[in-house]
Amino acid sequence: MSNPLPTPNVNGDLARERRIDEIRQHAEEQGRLQVVGKQVIGAPFPKASPEYGYYQIPLLKEPPWTWEIPLYFFVGGAAGAAAVIGAIADYTGGNRELVRHARWIAAAGSVISPALLISDLGRPERFLAMLRVFKPQSAMSVGVWTLVGFSTGAAAAAFAGYLRDRYGASLPLRVLENAGQAASLAFGLPFSNYTGVLIGATAIPVWNRNAQSLPLHFGASGLGAAVGILELLGHRKNRALQALGLGAAIFETLEGALIESRGHRHLDPLKRGPSGWITRTGGALGGPVPTALRIASIFATENRSQSLRRWAAWSAVVGSLLTRIGWIHAGHVSARDWKLPLAIGTERE
């Protein structure tokens, strides 16, 4: 005769269900979950807790990105902002040389950016695989399609403008130039700051807890870099560029002050260690230093003013690059802190 089926432990199941309901109710009332687990007798590791982590193993994986990604963030930010500057200057009848230089900066970024991204991915077919579908809920999917739209428009505008200047205007060239410029303008602004959305959408604490400010932070940093590159190309008498550069530098100064004023543990990678030094140096070079130099240039003589603006431009460009490097490095440090994801649930804003 076969063995009878085991009798279900109804009382035990009901007790566990009641315990789960109690835990849920407690979490809703207290705003956090505090459940003490059982320690198995003879277990070689302590139980998971904010003190011990999960077997003292990091709960998060470090981002697999290498040196290409912070450089990609920097190039994309400057190129996207340059495309917007060039398009607005063209539509408002600005200096034609400024428009041409802004377009070539955007076009250079449209070539360098996908090359850096493909290099990080390892194989070109991985980049093509990202284009198989469009997911509005995915920052990475939206970003790669933004890259494609921006690269196409920026390259078309620069190429058509070059042919028009060299061989004269024609209807096909005007159509291609206008369409390319409209596309680069439409995609340039999101391309300059979508990387802030991208890293903010991850579970890494130092990025996730700054998700609201990172897009604006990266956008202002990219604008400062684009203005700096244009000024280094000779446009140091342009008042509009001076205003844009000063505005970006002031915003970066305020953003840095906001980060420094907050004492939460998830911001430690931005303030301590090598990642902190890089981030703070980038913030200083992208914010207070160019702010002071640009304000001083307003009251200086013409020659002195151009010299101050040149130094402000260099400071903004280097600061923008170091800002990207610092934030990526801080993400690696934050992911290696195995205690932080457990402790952050008990942290009060």
SS (H, E, C) 300-325: CCHHHHHHHHHHHHHHHHHHHHHHHH
| Higher pLDDT pick, 48 / 15 | 15
What's the whole-number mean pLDDT along residues 130-137?
A: 85
Q: Tell me which of 275 and 20 has the higher pLDDT.
A: 275
Given this model, what pLDDT does residue 65 score? 86
The Cα 174–Cα 183 span in angstroms is 14
Q: How confident is the model at residue 348 (pLDDT cuts 50, 70, 90)?
A: very low
pLDDT over 70 at 35, yes or no: no
Q: Which of 122, 116, 42 has its CA nearest to residue 78?
A: 116
Can you read off the two tokens belonging to residue 130? Answer: 């990202």
CA distance 97 to 226: 15
Burial 289-316 (b: 16+ CB within 10 A, else e): bbbebbeebeeeeeeebeebbbebbbbb
Most confident of 122-126, 130-134, 326-330: 326-330
Could you read off the pLDDT of 213-236 as tens digits, one per residue? 999 999 999 999 999 999 999 999
Out of 67-71, 208-212, 251-255, 283-287, least confident range? 208-212
Half-sphere exposure of 19 (CA within 13 A, CB side): 9
Model confidence at 48: pLDDT above 70? no
Residue 268, CB half-sphere, CA atoms under 13 Å: how many? 13
pLDDT, greater one: 140 or 38: 140
Give the rounded distance of the alpha carbon of 160 from its chain centre: 31
Around Cβ 326, how many Cβ atoms within 10 Å? 23
The per-residue pLDDT for 45 is 55
Indicate the burial class of 229 (C-beta count within 10 angstroms; 0-12, 13-18, 19 or more).
Answer: buried
pLDDT at 319: 96
The answer on pLDDT for 51 being more than 60 is no
Beta bridge partners of 49: 53
Residue 50, pLDDT above cutoff 80: no
Residue 53 has pLDDT above 70, yes or no: no
pLDDT reported for residue 346: 47
Three-state secondary structure call for residue 93? coil
**pLDDT given at position 37:** 57
Among 102-106, 141-145, 160-164, the range with the most confident prediction by mean pLDDT is 102-106
Least confidently predicted of 58-62, 92-96, 138-142: 58-62
Q: Is 54 helix (H, G, I), strand (E, B) or coil?
A: strand
In CATH, which of 3.10.290.10, 1.20.1630.10, 1.10.15.40, 1.10.10.10 is domain 68-342? 1.20.1630.10
SS3 content of the chain, % helix, strand, coil (to 5): 75, 0, 25
Provide the mean pLDDT of the chain: 85
Q: Which pLDDT belongs to residue 32?
A: 63
Lowest mean pLDDT among 41-50, 141-150, 287-296: 41-50
Whole-angstrom Cα distance, residue 296 to residue 194?
A: 33
With beta carbons less than 8 A apart as the criterion, state whether 117 and 68 touch.
yes
How far apart (Å, rounded) are the C-alpha atoms in residues 284 and 265?
A: 22
Cβ–Cβ under 8 Å, residues 74 and 348: no
Q: Given a cut of 90, is residue 129 above it in pLDDT? A: no
Confidence tier at 63 by pLDDT (50, 70, 90): confident
What are the tokens at 17? 């269900």
Comparing C-alpha atoms, which of 77, 62, 63 is closest to residue 217? 77
43: left (phi over 0), alpha (psi -120 to 50) or beta: beta
The span from the first CA to the last CA of the chain, in angstroms, equals: 65
Kindly report the pTM of this predicted structure.
0.81
Rounded average pLDDT over 239-257? 95
Write down the pLDDT at residue 31.
63
User: Which is more confident, 48 or 311?
Assistant: 311
Min mean pLDDT across 111-115, 150-154, 171-175, 180-184 is at 171-175
Rg (CA), the chain: 26
Per the listing, tokens 């992911």 go with 335
Element (H, E) at 106: helix 96-121
The SS3 call for residue 68 is: helix
